[in-house]
Structure 1
Amino acid sequence: MAANDVLTREKIDAELATLPGWRFRLGGLATVLKCPTSAAALELFAAIGELAQKANHHPDVDWRYDTLFVALTSHDAGSKVTARDAALAKSISAAGQDVDAVEVPERLRSLEIALDTADIAEIAPVWAAALGFVAGEPDELKDPAGRLPTLWFQQSPTPNANRFHFDIQVPASEAQKVLAAVEAAGATLDRSNAPQFVIATDAQGNRLCICTEEGRGA
């Protein structure tokens, strides 16, 4: 398929209805596959590699002992979700079943670092040079290898005194559980932008956002 097979959010949700172990996050599809053993995880890793080669479409796979963290996006379509991503996700899930892997999407976490600024253009080159990052969207810098968190510039005429904060992406299905734990640990919560994100502030005034796929476009 060409790079014009981008899925709308409505179509992504329809595909996810047939992929209960996958979630939409940060422009892609993602899951976590827990295998019975480390050897089974390596077997599944190899199977995913074969599927990727056959489809000529390659996911990001992070192997951690008996667990694989898998993310799919179409870089040739501007890092959007395409029909190719959905098709490969289904093949990966089937391969996981062959080795008795369990999909545990509740373990998904993604991190972006946000920096408040009144002038993105004034400071972005400094951070790009220091990190070796490249421009993504107009308000972000990305690691070209995909290993480090995206740096997102939150443009504001009145930057917060605490200019840095973390945007922590969690599945919407797990958000309330995470928020309850954060609140119980001592944070105050601002839910005015829920369910897309909730601002948490710790006892010393440091902020973070618990974000979900809800309200986020494809």
Structure 2
Amino acid sequence: MAVHDVLSREQIDAELATLPGWRFRLGGLAAVLKCPTSAMALELLARIGELAQKANHHPDVDWRYDTLFVALSSHDAGSRVTARDAALAKSISAAGKDAGAVEEPSRLRSLEITMDTDNIEAIAPVWAAALGFVAGAPDDLRDPARRLPTLWFQQTATPNANRFHLDIYVPASEAHKVLAAVEEAGASLDRSHAPSFVIATDAQGNRLCICSEEGRDA
């Protein structure tokens, strides 16, 4: 089942059309559920646990006071999005509605640390040992507990003098607002790779990328 129920990007977009509070990011589905009270957030967390146990498919849920940050992907399918993720997302949204939760996709953010290198194999083992990470895709390392940001190695023959930068993923629906704020704060923007990502450079030459789900495969 892990192989056969993986969704294409077109299928993911079709599912998201019925899930207005969810977004596709970094290979998974994500939502933010804000509850009326902290106690109600805990009750919703317990309900999500029940739904997950019944489906035998378990999301990552981060409880922060009155808000739950939920992420769904299928580990047995290489952390890709499957039909099981879409089905559980629908169940979670229904449970959230019953609990009086408000979906706030504008608050979604995820972070990936990026390092320029001309030889991934020469350096990846050092970082894996130091961080306790494991190989994910051929060009990244991931926290097995899925708590810390992914470390992605950007293969390039001409590494930037500042080899580290941050890839900040935001929903495509919010990207223009974030980019406007970043530019107003003093960054210069390189939009040559938009809408997948826009390179922002601060006044001291430090780079970051504002990334969205647009133009990306599942």
Question: TM-score under structure 2 normalisation?
Answer: 0.99
Match of 2:166 in 1: 166
Provide structure 2 residue ranges, at least 5 long, that are not aligned to the other structure.
none
Distance in 2 (CA, whole Å) between partners of 1:2 and 1:182 is 40
SS of 1:113 mapped into structure 2: strand
8 Å CA contact retained: 1:175, 1:212: yes
Match of 2:48 in 1: 48
SS of 2:168 mapped into structure 1: strand
Distance in 2 (CA, whole Å) between partners of 1:50 and 1:140 is 33
Q: Which amino acid aligns with 1:166?
A: L
The size of the alignment, in residue pairs, is 218
Shift in Å at residue 2 of structure 1?
Answer: 4.2
RMSD across aligned C-alpha pairs, in angstroms?
0.6
Shift in Å at residue 3 of structure 1?
Answer: 3.7
8 Å CA contact retained: 1:135, 1:141: yes
Q: Percent identity?
A: 83
Shift in Å at residue 4 of structure 1?
Answer: 1.7
8 Å CA contact retained: 1:170, 1:210: yes
Match of 2:177 in 1: 177
Deviations 1:36-74 (A, max 9, x none): 000110010000000000000000000000000000000
Match of 1:9 in 2: 9
SS of 1:128 mapped into structure 2: helix
Provide structure 1 residue ranges, at least 5 long, that are not aligned to the other structure.
none
Residue correspondence of structure 1 range 65-144 to structure 2 within 5 A: 65-144=65-144
Distance in 1 (CA, whole Å) between partners of 2:201 and 2:95 is 42
Match of 1:211 in 2: 211
Q: Which amino acid aligns with 2:209?
A: C
SS of 2:18 mapped into structure 1: coil
Cα distance change, pair 192–2 in 1 and its aligned pair in 2 (3 A): closer
Cα distance change, pair 18–114 in 1 and its aligned pair in 2 (3 A): same
Cα distance change, pair 212–161 in 1 and its aligned pair in 2 (3 A): same
8 Å CA contact retained: 1:4, 1:77: no
Question: TM-score under structure 1 normalisation?
Answer: 0.99
Match of 2:59 in 1: 59
Distance in 1 (CA, whole Å) between partners of 2:12 and 2:118 is 34
